[in-house]
């Protein structure tokens, strides 16, 4: 049921400095695409850029622009570059912090995006706009999350994502805007931000400190490697159907505490040696069990990296960069 195969020569990546965005840049460059990256903060050190050693690195142009403050420049750049495909990772992340500054999440994730979509809505050069959303739009749900389920967001972060998803579908219906929605399980792998659960656990364990584990780590998640994320997005570009959503996940559902125990075991430590249990975050959804059968059936996508192998890769990356990583901030720093 997917669209005819697309093989874009020019791709723009919004939020190219994000973990998933940088893995996608690497994947697209490896496919021979010319890629423009747009991100509000400067490029990170090479250890956080999977594409740093890509042999096609010369086909990548990075622009440090903010979709809020530099909206006119972002639009002008896209109109000049005329990408066949735009992949959108941009936006305010982090669930807990969205309760403190909800207006920032709504401004960036909704208002700034609608402004951009309005400028792009009838541009003939654009054949595909892949929006990277989140399963948090569905809110608390112990069942299997399928693409056609009703939204029920429970945090400002999730509300902002649900709102822009609905706006894009309205643009698809009104203008034929070529949006494809994608939602993924929790990202992880080498090059990830240090405040995320996998690298933070590894750093705590190797540094002899305690990991603050929210609520004892009883939330259930699936974890998907950055390269499998990139491959899923590229499959959506190639043959995804406009106006449709696709879910991407492994079937290795695991409690966060089990994940932490797995990492501890890989490092020859026990769970209790590296963990302090702290108060849970407000509004956190307890379970995400996504169904990826549509992506497998229509796009031919399958995850290729097991959690065990991905954890081993991430441990190897942390060990290789340990001296520099230990000197960097390991907690989330909010930028308005």
Tell me what pLDDT residue 288 has.
Answer: 79
Same domain, 28 and 168: yes
Query: Residues 175, 110: one domain?
Result: yes
Residue 300: C-alpha distances to residues 132, 157, 293, 294 (Å): 19, 31, 10, 9
Q: Report the 3 state secondary structure along 155-171.
A: CHHHHHHHHHHHHHHHH
d(CA 70, CA 112): 10
Q: For residue 285, what pLDDT is reported?
A: 64
C-beta separation of 279 from 251 below 8 A: no
Give yes or no: residues 176 and 257 share one domain: no
Cα 156 from Cα 163, distance rounded (Å): 10
CATH number for the domain including 42? 3.40.50.720
Judge if 155 and 207 occupy the same domain.
no
Q: Do 147 and 205 fall into the same domain?
A: no
> In whole angstroms, what is the distance from residue 318 CA to residue 202 CA?
7
| Cα distances (Å, whole numbers) of residue 130 to 85, 165, 230, 281 | 8, 11, 12, 30
Q: Which two tokens stand for residue 327?
A: 């000197």
CATH of the domain at 262: 3.90.25.10
Neighbour tally for 63: CB within 10 Å: 15
Q: Kindly state whether residues 93 and 53 are assigned to the same domain.
A: yes
| Whole-angstrom distance, CA of residue 55 vs CA of residue 125 | 27
Nearest to 21 by CA among 44, 3, 55: 44
Residues 62-93 have pLDDT tens digits of 999 999 999 999 999 999 999 999 999 999 88
List of the chain residues with pLDDT < 50: 1-2
Residue 160 and residue 265 in one domain = no
Judgement on whether residues 211 and 235 belong to the same structural domain of the protein: no
Token pair of 136 as six digits: 């948090």
pLDDT of residue 281: 67
Model confidence pLDDT, tens digit, residues 22-52: 999 999 999 999 999 999 999 999 999 999 9
The count of domains in the chain is: 2
Residue 68 shares a structural domain with residue 198? no
Please indicate, yes or no, if residue 300 is contained in any of the structural domains.
no
Q: How far apart are CA 159 and CA 139, in angstroms?
A: 9
* pLDDT at site 1: 45
φ/ψ of residue 255, rounded to 5: -70, 150
* Whether residue 265 sits in one domain with residue 171: no
In a domain, 294, yes or no: no
Per-residue confidence (pLDDT) for residue 5, from 0 to 100: 79
- Note whether residue 290 is domain-resident: no
Q: Specify the pLDDT at position 23.
A: 98
- What's the rounded Cα separation, in Å, for the pair 34 and 74? 17
Structural domain range at position 104:
10-187+224-248
């Amino acid at each position: 049921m997917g669209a005819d195969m697309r093989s874009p020569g020019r791709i723009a990546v919004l939020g190219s400095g994000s973990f998933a965005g940088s893995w996608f840049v690497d994947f697209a460059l490896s496919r021979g695409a010319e890629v423009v990256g747009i991100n509000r903060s400067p490029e990170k050190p090479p250890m956080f850029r999977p594409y740093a050693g890509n042999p096609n690195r010369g086909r990548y142009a990075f622009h440090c622009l903010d979709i809020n403050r530099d909206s006119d420049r972002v639009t002008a750049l896209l109109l000049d570059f005329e990408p066949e495909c735009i992949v959108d990772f941009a936006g305010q992340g982090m669930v807990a912090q969205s309760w403190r500054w909800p207006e920032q999440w709504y401004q960036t994730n909704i208002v700034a995006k609608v402004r951009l979509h309005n400028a792009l809505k009838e541009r003939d050069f654009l054949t595909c706009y892949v929006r990277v959303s989140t399963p948090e739009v569905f809110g608390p749900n112990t069942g299997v999350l399928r693409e056609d389920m009703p939204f029920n967001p429970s945090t400002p972060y999730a509300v902002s994502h649900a709102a822009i998803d609905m706006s894009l579908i309205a643009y698809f219906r009104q203008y034929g805007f070529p949006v494809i929605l994608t939602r993924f399980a929790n990202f992880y792998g080498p090059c990830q931000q240090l405040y995320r659960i996998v690298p933070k656990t590894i750093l705590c364990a190797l540094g002899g400190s305690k990991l603050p584990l929210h609520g004892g780590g009883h939330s259930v998640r699936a974890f998907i490697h950055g390269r499998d994320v990139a491959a899923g997005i590229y499959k959506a570009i190639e043959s995804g159907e406009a106006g449709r959503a696709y879910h991407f996940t492994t079937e290795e559902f695991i409690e966060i505490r089990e994940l932490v125990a797995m990492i501890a075991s890989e490092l020859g430590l026990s769970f209790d040696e590296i963990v302090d249990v702290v108060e849970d975050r407000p509004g956190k959804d307890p379970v995400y069990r996504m169904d990826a059968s549509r992506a497998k059936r229509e796009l031919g996508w399958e995850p290729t990296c097991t959690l065990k192998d991905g954890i081993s890769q991430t441990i190897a990356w942390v060990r290789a960069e340990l001296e520099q990583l230990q000197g960097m901030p390991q907690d989330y720093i909010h930028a308005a």
